[in-house]
Amino acid sequence: RLFCTYREPGIERDRLASHADRNEGQMPQHIIVIYKNQFFVLDVVVDSARLSNDNIYTQLKRIVSMAEDGATYAEKVGILTAANRTTWAKSRQLLLEDETNRACLEKIEDCIFVLCLDDAIPIAFNHQRSFDETQSNLRDDTSMALQMLHGFGADVNSANRWYDKTMQFVISADGACGLNYEHSPSEGIAVVQLIEHLLKYMEEIRQRKLPRLMTMREVPFPQQLNFKVTDTIRQEMEGATEHMHKMIDSVDLYVLRFNEFGKEFPKSQNMSPDCFIQLAIQLAYYKIYNHLVSTYESASIRRFRLGRVDNIRACSIEAQEWCKAMVGQTPADDEKKIELFRAAIKQQADILRRTILGHGMDNHLLGLKQIAVHNNLPVPTLFTDEAYQRVHHFTLSTSQVPTVGDSFMCYGPVVPD
């Protein structure tokens, strides 16, 4: 599903479209490469043979050369996908009125994945300038994460995307690499497993046993997709650009590398590292705002058929009592603080365990609400109650995705505050 799924915008509701798999017919055999806001079709399978790494590299060089020639006149069509979903759905309908645009959209929507070749990002975009001369010319984690998340605006790399596609691999001219992925078809852990598989594959320089084309004479040139852009569509692009820039301005993102200790310390204290971090987040928030808020943490329920995620709630009475003791609002010596901390850890571990075993409250309540909606029944007043709204307003939205390599994931806020 990571490679055969597309999120198609709708006026009222988006549609998750899955393309053919081996049992249903012809699978997609091309990827879309975006460079300098221009779109190219790159066939990675030709005559039932997968292109070699050298073949693909040559094709990418061809694309770069073709795009450089047209960079001055390239329309930023990709920015349309960054608009509000209803707005983008209407813009897409305008594009579909033209036969050429329909063909371009079909190629993009049917591709295996999108490869975004980005312009380099100056180190001036770093969150913190390094005082270490050996690091002074390197980009920091925050800058690279923001490039993957939004691309720094339409004048930089934000239009060099197609946000409806599940997998967009981003390769920057300065060597930074990562991906932007649309969350609907898959959870983060599956994506990380894919990325780490790719990294391992690259390290081993291992090729699959498939026939390959050995000469470029047999490989067709990449095909450029030339959208027909009217003045009306240009106005839509301007609106999408404004919307994108507002979203970028509304997000603060900072990447922290914590080097004091790792997961082995909480394990040595018979504590779950995940629970340990969740309690640390609760304390940090309490120190700033003097209260706790509803907290979301993704809980995998993939052990169940069609299972996706439920919610591990970290805001508990035990967590609050410990936070009060830590900031001196309730008298407690070090021994008492440790006692309260362990009680909070135990409660968090119990919530985690119950949730991943299918006993969480969030999916259960959501299911009851959807039953009413699907059967055209009045939605029970529970779901419109102020308390229910507050408990589902996740000011803290968190996710723990274990990785083997030096990689990490990030996302924007789910509520305005």
Identify whether the C-beta of residue 33 lies closer than 8 Å to the C-beta of residue 4: no
Same structural domain, 330 and 208: no
Domain of residue 377, CATH code: 3.30.559.10
Q: Which of 19, 30, 183, 291 is catalytic?
A: 183
- Regarding pTM above 0.85, the answer is yes
**What pLDDT, on the 0 to 100 scale, is given for residue 364?**
95
pLDDT at 6: 93
User: Are residues 25 and 158 both part of a single domain?
Assistant: yes
Asked whether the beta carbons of 310 and 355 are under 8 A apart, the reply is yes
pLDDT reported for residue 354: 96
Residue 189 lies in a domain: yes
Is position 194 within any domain?
yes
The confidence score (pLDDT) of residue 92 equals: 98
Which of 213, 229, 250 represents a domain boundary (last residue)? 250
Q: What pLDDT score does 203 carry?
A: 78
Q: 177 and 43 share a domain?
A: yes
Range of the domain at 296: 263-398
| 120 shares its domain with 206 | yes
Question: Do both 212 and 308 map to the same domain?
Answer: no
Residues 279 and 225 in one domain: no
Does any domain span residue 414?
no
Assigned domain for 110 exists: yes
Rounded alpha-carbon distances, angstroms, from residue 396 to 113, 281, 392, 415: 31, 9, 11, 9
- Are 187 and 236 in a shared domain? yes
Radius of gyration (Cα) for the chain, nearest Å?
24
Per-residue DSSP letter, 291: S
Within a domain: residue 410? no
Residues 170 and 272 in one domain: no
pLDDT in tens for each of the 417 residues of the chain? 788 889 999 999 999 988 765 555 577 899 999 999 999 999 998 888 888 888 999 999 999 999 998 777 789 999 999 999 999 999 999 999 999 999 999 999 999 999 999 999 988 888 765 545 445 567 889 999 999 999 999 999 999 999 999 999 999 999 999 999 999 988 888 898 888 888 888 777 665 555 555 566 678 899 999 999 999 999 999 999 999 999 999 999 999 989 999 999 999 999 999 999 999 999 999 999 999 999 999 999 989 998 899 999 999 999 999 999 999 999 999 999 999 999 999 999 999 999 999 999 999 999 999 999 999 999 999 999 999 999 999 999 999 888 887 888 899 899 999
pLDDT value, residue 206? 61
The residues facing 45 across adjacent strands are 50
In a domain, residue 256? The reply is no
pLDDT of residue 188: 84
pLDDT for residue 134: 47
Q: What is the pLDDT of residue 138?
A: 78
Q: What domain count does the chain have?
A: 2
Looking at the structure, tell me whether residues 296 and 339 fall in a common domain.
Answer: yes
Give the domain-ending residue among 206, 222, 250.
250
Question: Within a domain: residue 407?
Answer: no
Task: Please confirm, yes or no, whether 183 is among the known catalytic residues.
Answer: yes
For position 84, what pLDDT does the model report? 96
Please, which residues have CB within 8 angstroms of residue 142's CB and are 6 or more apart in sequence?
A: 126, 127, 128, 253, 254, 255
Domain identity same for 324 and 182: no
pLDDT tens-place string over residues 318-327: 999 999 999 9
Provide the CATH number for the domain around residue 154: 3.30.559.70
Residues 6 or more apart whose Cβ sits within 8 Å of residue 199: 405, 407
Smallest CA-to-CA distance from 33 within 65, 73, 80, 8 is with 65
pLDDT of residue 21: 58
What residues form DSSP beta bridges with 116?
34, 170
Predicted local distance difference test score (pLDDT) of residue 215: 63
| 220 and 298 co-located in one domain | no
Local structure of residue 52 (DSSP, 8 states): P
Q: Is 95 among the domain residues?
A: yes
Same domain, 222 and 352: no
